[in-house]
Chains A and B, each alone.
Chain A
């Protein structure tokens, strides 16, 4: 079991209904964490319904859904970025 801070930004934050939470998880990868979150409640299922519309960062580095969670402290989910 690992404890990870999970952060949500932009419309992902709005759909989930909170900006940040501490999650206890057995997930080994980001994709497994997503599956666990999806199974929680409808609002998570809605936020994670289309992974192609989402980006993920592990410990503040952009990565992909296959990324391992070993040693990770922080995972963030958000839509494609729109800086500039």
Chain B
């Protein structure tokens, strides 16, 4: 299991290649990359705040739970903080398993939980001012399916 919380950018392709190389024999690798979206066309940057210490603990707990629920060869979680420009990558998860269903389900579980159980907060700065991104009820509801 590898959990990284960092301000620096990362290259999803390189991360995925390295992850895939070390889970030799897994049979299935699933990855998801989250990208800064500019719905208004006016976004200057997204600033991600987090709670150092708790963030790592929360991500490790979520990843450990995924490993208990599904048969996984390995899990990778990378999440950035600080200022991010539109189209920059925010985070990625990758899962490896013997068969694809475990890898897909575990990746979805990780995404659902780290959306509303990992202490990150997003602020959008645009030409029209700045505002905190509000949590969606649907994100909380998504947890009930697990």
The residues of A with any CB-CB pair to B shorter than 8 Å are 7, 9-11, 13, 57, 60-62, 76, 78-84
Contact = CB atoms under 8 A, between A and B. Distances in A.
Which of B51, B115, B133, B139 has the most chain A CB atoms inside 10 A of its CB? B51
For chain B, give the interface size range.
20 to 34
Contacts of B58: 62
A80 B116 contact: yes
Given A9-B51, A10-B132, A13-B49, 8 more contacts: A9-B49, A79-B134, A79-B135, A80-B116, A81-B135, A83-B114, A84-B115, A84-B120
B69 interface: no
B120 A81 contact: yes
25 contacts: A9-B51, A9-B119, A10-B49, A10-B121, A10-B132, A57-B51, A57-B54, A60-B51, A61-B57, A62-B58, A76-B119, A78-B119, A79-B132, A79-B134, A80-B116, A81-B116, A81-B119, A82-B115, A82-B132, A83-B91, A83-B117, A83-B118, A83-B120, A84-B111, A84-B120
Tell me if B's interface is mostly helix, strand, loop or mixed: mixed
A54 B91 CA distance: 25
B90 interface: yes
B122 interface: yes
A82 B51 contact: no
Contacts of A10: 49, 121, 123, 132
B121 A9 contact: yes
A7 B79 CA distance: 21
A81 B53 contact: no
A13 B54 CA distance: 17
B27 interface: no
Nearest to B115: A84
Nearest to B133: A82
Interface in B93-124: 111, 114-123
A53 B73 CA distance: 38
B51 A83 contact: no
Nearest to B79: A83
B117 A62 contact: yes
Contact of A76 (B54, B57, B139): B54
